[in-house]
């Protein structure tokens, strides 16, 4: 089954998103879609789903193809329970088994499946939407930023789940471990063009570097030719009479060629004085409602520290930062800050930016002139260095993509030349290119940094210490974040194994035994039906409509066999446990 783009073009206002794009996605591909913020990755997904229509060209989708789409901001009926929401994706032909829906929702961190989404945060809505997307039978799963707002343990589980995923997958994500471990193809959207690579993330970087080298070589040859032709066309009047008309026409076409330049984005802040005493917390305790966030916490921030603050959503990471910023107080204990501190604070809340303000005015609110290692620059120049061209600078903030707003927030924080950085989820919605620039900036920053993020690659690359929220306390570690998560995963697996081994060695309940016996009969019968249908294909090779019907029946039966086989092996394991 295929999704085919045939010379598709699409513009958003006057900005080209796709220019005569032609490519195919099959139900065996696992594709990571990448590109800088604002290039139109989410728009491309909406074109596939029919939520946007192309200006020209055709998008053809195989008949009967089922596509599940996880959008960035899902909305649901607030009167329905989360279990009802997830179950409604099933049909009579492709039902969702209730125990499967319950299992996935539990994996997503929900314990009460009867609750509604009335008071849900954006992150909670995203988890419900993700559960619905992966449990509903489909041929291709399309995910737009699936890891945003997820706890690290859920991200780890989702990664393992998608590695085993047997259908098609197309996802926009900036999680580089996901792209490396899950995807077998990479699709890049750049300047309205699509580049498809038969590669995982690491190999994609190599192939992209080669493509850009080849492109640069071609551009230089073209520019050299343009220079020669310009000199030729500018010769005297006498020589001009003898000029070839075709050569003149070719020169005009050559002049019309526009070179898409990949600008280098970098920013180097001026080092400011930082005293010996930076930040100290002595016996700090904090409670929120009846929940203890941390108790008797002692911490000293040193000059060379890049501290990753990690833990599940709602554990109190942002609260710790608000305490440091004097937006909240410790319940007990002391917060001691050095007199020379100049903190650059990046909040995870985009709603702090006035959507009606112009991009350039948002930076000017902080400072009109910014000091860098290369001298003083104005706001417009700084914005250009962060890939906001002149036109975009005078647009209103509400016209920016989520990632562009993040990048704008970041510019404002860095433009103040802080000597300490407090960054609350700075990696959400940032494209891979901006992430790499941010990482390099932080590694060269002349002062300590505290940062929260669920991006494992980002934390592994920059952090030399971790503060880990666990069991109403904060513990310190010098391990990499991935090593810590893997160790916790191993511990949890051992605990599960131990709890299984402690189960009393008695008989398997009759209901489960009957279900197992029933499946032992049903699965072979279904497999026989598939064999008979495949024989029918050979007898109807000239009847196209009949072939489509038969293939649909085969697909339904194959899906049913897959579900029942999984349940069969699950019951077999339970039988072994009951038998000791």
Q: Residue 544 is part of which domain span?
A: 510-578
* Residue-level pLDDT at 323: 95
Q: Are residues 134 and 83 in the same domain?
A: yes
Kindly indicate the confidence band of residue 96, based on its pLDDT and cuts at 50, 70 and 90.
Answer: confident
**pLDDT: which is higher, 56 or 389:** 56
Please state, rounded to an integer, the average pLDDT across all residues of the chain: 84
Kindly report the CA angle at 456 between 450 and 458, in degrees rounded to 5?
55
Query: If you average pLDDT over residues 532-560, what whole number do you get?
Result: 80
The single-letter DSSP state of residue 433 is H
pLDDT-derived band at 277 (thresholds 50, 70, 90) equals confident
Let me know whether 140 and 30 are in one domain.
yes
Global pTM value: 0.72
Give 265's pLDDT tier (boundaries 50, 70, 90).
very low
Q: Which of 467, 482, 497 is the last residue of a domain?
A: 482
Which range, of 18-27, 85-94, 260-269, averages the lowest pLDDT?
A: 260-269
Is 227 domain-assigned?
no
Decide: 248 and 233 in contact? Cβ < 8 Å: yes
Residue 286 and residue 335 share a domain: yes
Which of 330-339, 343-352, 521-530, 533-542 is the most confident on average?
Answer: 330-339
- For 479-493, the three-class secondary structure string (H helix, E strand, C coil) is CCHHHHHHHHHHHHH
Q: Is residue 393 part of a domain?
A: yes
The helices-and-strands tally (H runs, E runs) of the chain is 19, 20
Counting every residue, how long is the chain?
580
Residue 460 is part of a domain; what is its CATH number? 3.40.50.300
Q: What are the E-state strand segments in 67-198? A: 67-70, 140-144, 168-172, 185-190, 193-197
Q: State the total domains in the chain.
A: 3
d(CA 457, CA 95): 37
If asked whether residues 16 and 160 sit together in one domain, one would say yes
Residue 410 per-residue DSSP state: H
Residue 389 token pair: 């061209």
pLDDT at 339 exceeding the cut of 90: no
pLDDT > 70: what percent of the chain? 86
State the Rg of the chain over Cα.
29
Q: Mean pLDDT lowest for which of 30-39, 93-102, 275-284, 331-340? A: 93-102
Q: Which residue has the tokens 């489909």?
A: 138
Residues 415 and 517 in one domain: no
Phi-psi region of 109 (alpha: psi -120 to 50; beta: other; left: phi over 0): left
Mean pLDDT for the stretch of residues 163-172: 93
- Domain termination site, one of 205, 220, 247: 205
Of 442, 463, 482, the residue that ends a domain is 482
Same domain, 293 and 433: yes
Contacts of 352 (CB under 8 A, 6+ apart): none
- 171-224: pLDDT as tens digits: 999 899 999 999 999 999 998 999 999 998 989 988 888 888 777 766 676 666
Check if the beta carbon of residue 19 is closer than 8 Å to that of residue 44. Answer: no
pLDDT of residue 424: 92
Residue 372 scores a pLDDT above 90: no
pLDDT attached to residue 403: 79
Query: Which range, of 307-311, 320-324, 415-419, 507-511, averages the lowest pLDDT?
Result: 507-511
Would you say residue 240 lies in a domain?
A: no
Confidence of residue 343 (pLDDT cuts 50, 70, 90): very high
Distance, CA of 98 to CA of 88 (rounded, Å): 11
Assess whether 33 and 171 both reside in one domain: yes
Residue 316 placed within a domain: yes
Q: Do the domain assignments include residue 9?
A: yes
d(CA 506, CA 502): 12
- The least confident of 110-114, 230-234, 285-289 is 230-234
**342 plus 423 within the same structural domain:** yes
Residues 467, 520: one domain? Answer: no
117 HSE (CA, 13 A, CB side):
20
**pLDDT reported for residue 511:** 78
């Amino acid at each position: 089954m295929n999704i085919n783009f045939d010379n598709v073009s699409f513009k958003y206002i006057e900005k080209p998103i796709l220019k005569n794009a032609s490519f195919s996605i099959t139900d065996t591909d696992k594709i990571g879609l990448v590109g800088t913020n604002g290039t139109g990755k989410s728009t491309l997904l909406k074109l596939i789903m029919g939520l946007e229509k192309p200006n020209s060209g055709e998008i053809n989708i195989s008949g009967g193809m089922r596509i599940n789409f996880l959008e960035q901001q899902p909305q649901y009926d607030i009167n329905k329970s989360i279990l009802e929401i997830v179950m409604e994706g099933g049909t009579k032909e492709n039902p969702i088994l209730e125990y499967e829906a319950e299992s996935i929702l539990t994996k997503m961190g929900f314990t009460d499946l009867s609750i509604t989404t009335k008071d849900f945060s954006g992150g909670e809505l995203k988890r419900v939407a993700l559960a619905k997307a992966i449990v509903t039978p489909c041929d291709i799963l399309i995910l737009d930023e699936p890891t945003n707002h997820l706890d690290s343990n859920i991200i780890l589980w989702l990664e393992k789940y998608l590695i085993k995923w047997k259908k098609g997958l197309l996802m926009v994500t900036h999680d580089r471990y996901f792209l490396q471990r899950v995807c077998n193809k990479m699709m890049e959207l750049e300047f309205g063009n699509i580049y498809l690579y038969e590669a995982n993330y690491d190999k994609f970087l190599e192939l992209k570097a080669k493509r850009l080298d080849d492109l640069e070589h071609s551009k230089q040859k073209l520019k050299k030719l343009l220079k020669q032709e310009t000199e030729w066309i500018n010769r005297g009047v006498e020589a001009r009479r003898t000029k070839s008309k075709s050569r003149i026409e070719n020169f005009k076409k050559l002049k019309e060629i526009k070179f898409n330049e990949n600008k280098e984005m970098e920013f180097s802040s001026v080092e400011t004085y930082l005293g010996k005493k930076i930040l100290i917390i002595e016996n700090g305790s904090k409670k929120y409602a009846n929940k203890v966030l941390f108790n008797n916490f002692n911490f000293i921030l040193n000059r060379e520290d890049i501290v990753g603050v990690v833990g599940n959503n709602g554990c109190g990471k942002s609260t710790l930062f608000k305490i440091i910023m004097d937006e909240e107080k410790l319940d007990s204990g002391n917060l001691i800050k050095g007199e020379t501190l100049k903190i650059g604070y990046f909040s995870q809340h985009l709603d702090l930016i006035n959507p009606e303000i112009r991009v350039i005015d948002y930076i000017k609110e902080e400072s009109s002139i910014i000091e860098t290692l290369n001298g003083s620059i104005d706001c417009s120049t700084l914005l250009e260095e962060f890939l906001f061209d002149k036109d975009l600078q005078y647009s209103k903030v509400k016209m920016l993509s989520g990632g562009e707003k993040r990048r704008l927030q970041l510019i404002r924080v860095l433009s103040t030349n802080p000597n300490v950085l407090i960054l609350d989820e700075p990696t959400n919605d940032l494209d891979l290119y901006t992430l790499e620039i941010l990482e390099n900036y932080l590694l060269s920053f002349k002062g300590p940094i505290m940062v929260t993020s669920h991006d494992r690659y980002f934390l592994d690359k920059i952090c030399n210490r971790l503060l880990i929220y666990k069991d109403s306390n904060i513990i310190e570690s010098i391990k990499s974040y991935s090593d810590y998560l893997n160790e916790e995963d191993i511990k949890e697996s051992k605990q599960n194994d131990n709890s299984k081994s402690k189960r009393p060695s008695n008989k398997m309940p009759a209901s489960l035994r009957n279900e197992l016996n029933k499946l032992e009969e049903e699965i072979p019968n279904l497999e026989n039906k598939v064999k008979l249908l495949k024989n029918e294909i050979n007898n109807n090779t000239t009847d196209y409509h009949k072939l489509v019907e038969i293939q649909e029946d085969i697909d339904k039966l194959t899906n049913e066999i897959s579900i029942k086989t999984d349940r069969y092996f699950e019951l077999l394991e339970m039988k072994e446990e009951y038998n000791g």
